[in-house]
Amino acid sequence: VSFRSRSGDKWTPMKLVRRALSFFLHSKQRLNRNHQFALVHLFDKASWVKDFTGNVRSIISALDDMSDTVELQSFNATSLFDLIHQCVPLPELEGDTTILPPPYIVRMLFIYGRSNGLIEFRNKESFRQLDSSPYFFFDAMYVHEPQSPENRCEEIFDRLCDLDEKGMSYIFEAARNPTRLYDQMAKLLAHPLQRPLQSEIAYRLHNIADLTDT
Amino acid sequence: MQISPHFNKIVESLMVEGKFGVCNGITRVNDVKSGSSTLRKSPSGDRFKIYIPYAGQTITWEVILDNSCPEEPPDFIFEDSDFCPNVADIKSLVNWDIGDPHCLTKVIRELLEHYKTFHERLLEAHSRLQFEYSSLLDQTELSRDLIEVYSERTEKKIGPINFLIKLPVDFSDIPPYLTKDNPGENSAVLLILFPSPDSSRVTPQLYLSPRVEHAFGGSGNLRIPAFPSGGCLLDYVPDVYKLLQNKVEKTVQIYERRKELIAAFLSHFGRSVLEFDADGFFDISFLFEWNDFFFILYIELAPSFPQEAPVLTFQSIYHESKEKPYSEVHDKYPYSPRWSGPEMATRIKTYILDNIQAFQKQSVISGSL
């Protein structure tokens, strides 16, 4: 899994996101020791902060070291996908792909915190190349201000959903509500090859007694 | 140096199809040279060495053809100078036909047969070894094609002596091993070393093919008994065979039990699944919500399952303890290995529901936000 993180406005939810990510990393590693994580930060250009590692603590300190960012008008998605396409090798399709699992998959977890910065995506070439692999997945967590006429949250969220061209992504949003952020990040733990589609997920536990009564 | 084009086909056939003996090991070809003294531009290699696995050793034979007369059958140099089969006895050599791409493979196969017989005869001079060999053949289910013997000889003595035995274990139900590299056929081979004809320090070694090893949980996971001093192969080999057959049956049974339980959990909670082990079915984890309280549940099965109950771990997604998410391990709860997978899943579900509230309270108290 590689993360993209972009902090929000001045009073950053950065701390919140960092904590939620910390839970995510610890939990994901508990699920399987073999998972690895890389961290990419987006300033005016995408930059690789931490290369793939299973060392959760090192990612968390890299996160802690990241300074809060500056306001930027829009976010350049092309530079991000260009960087990923360049730096992350995807497994080749080998053997009978309906039976054989790949040695690993690559999941991009895009964490976006802008309530006003639109996503600009001029050149989709790199994205298309990545997305054409059955072993590449794009997930997103959008943290934003409560929706109002003053911001463009809905539009931004729609643009994020547009990136789900294969219909296999998990795209979540949370309006600066800590509990909801933690809940959504937990849902993102699910392995893309084993999880249900986002439209099918259901986590509520029913009491067996309740069910048999009705 | 490269093989002369006259011989490409027959050498290729040997390398691809030349899987001989108990181990079905591949034959390697190396050390290609030319018999002609003049330098040529085109590849003219017509002599080379072949390495064949046999009875736990690798035997090296040199094959000598002639680039200027490719139809002529090959000569051989055997590293074992006592091995001198009569050419007239090697039918495929007598009927050598360079036009047949398998002609070299056929000759090697026949020569190996003679080589095997040669080593079998060497045992006749040593009553103990001869007894070991013939009793295996006569009094067990093993047939001659499952046994290879090899005696190392020097001027003064004979030894060590190898017995390589393929055990006819039924591996057909072994769980699949999903890997792009073909894991090959399933087999178990026993290599037994006698340091000398009358030694009592006999050392056995068991070799399992990759898929079988994977199913048993790794190479260290099966211990065979030491060869009893004063014992004999007639007793020992069937004992190892039974041990293996039992292990296979046990492995298959417990694998099926794990699979059944994971399937039962998936059928209850498939829409909440985070990850599960789709290879060995040793674990599965879920994200659950109860009254707006989300938590993760890990379910882990030990190799001793179903004897040992699955270990349940509740983990908070909100509270931490000692810099890690707060979690609780529950491994002592009402459980019986006799329950079916679906019944276990149902009962564990009840147990989870009964304990969420306590877990939630405890995570708030013990953890920090």
Per-residue pLDDT, A166: 92
Fold annotation for A3-212:
Rossmann fold (3.40.50)
Per-residue pLDDT, A6: 45
How far is the alpha carbon of A16 from chain B, nearest alpha carbon, in Å? Answer: 11
Per-residue pLDDT, B75: 92
How far is the alpha carbon of B269 from chain A, nearest alpha carbon, in Å? Answer: 8
Residues of A in contact with B290 (CB under 8 A): 204-205
- B287: nearest CA in chain A? A203
- B346: nearest CA in chain A? A208
Contact B214, B185 (CB under 8 A): no
Question: Which two structure tokens, joined as six digits, stand for B218?
Answer: 């790794």
Per-residue pLDDT, A68: 62
Which of A99, A190, A200 has its CB closest to that of B274? A190
- Is residue B273 within 8 angstroms of chain A, CB to CB? yes
Residues of chain A with pLDDT under 70: 1-12, 44, 67-73, 207-214
CB contacts < 8 A, A to B, total: 84
Residue A40's DSSP bridge partners are A4, A48
Give me the residue spans of the domains in chain A. 3-212
Average pLDDT of chain B to the nearest whole number: 90
Residues of chain B with pLDDT under 70: 38-41, 178-184, 219-220, 368-369
CB contact under 8 A, A182 and B294: yes
Which whole-number Å values give the CA distances from B329 to A24, B291, B299, B307, B311, in the listed order? 19, 22, 10, 18, 7
Per-residue pLDDT, B227: 92
Residues of B in contact with A204 (CB under 8 A): 288-290
CB contact under 8 A, A23 and B317: yes
DSSP one-letter string for A29-56 = HHH-TT--EEEEEESSSEEEEEEEES-H
d(CA B260, CA B280): 12
Nearest to B274 by CA among B257, B299, B255: B299
Question: Which two structure tokens, joined as six digits, stand for B345?
Answer: 């899943």
- Is residue B276 within 8 angstroms of chain A, CB to CB? yes
For A78-90, b where at least 16 C-beta lie within 10 A, e where not — what string? bbbbbbbbeebeb
Per-residue pLDDT, B174: 84
Note if the bond before A192 is cis, omega within 30 degrees. Answer: no
Model confidence pLDDT, tens digit, residues B153-177: 888 888 899 999 999 998 888 887 7
d(CA B253, CA B116): 39
Within the 30-49 window of chain A, which residues sit less than 8 Å (CB to CB) from chain B? 30-32
Task: For this complex, say whether ipTM is above 0.95.
Answer: no
Per-residue pLDDT, B3: 86
Contact B327, B315 (CB under 8 A): yes
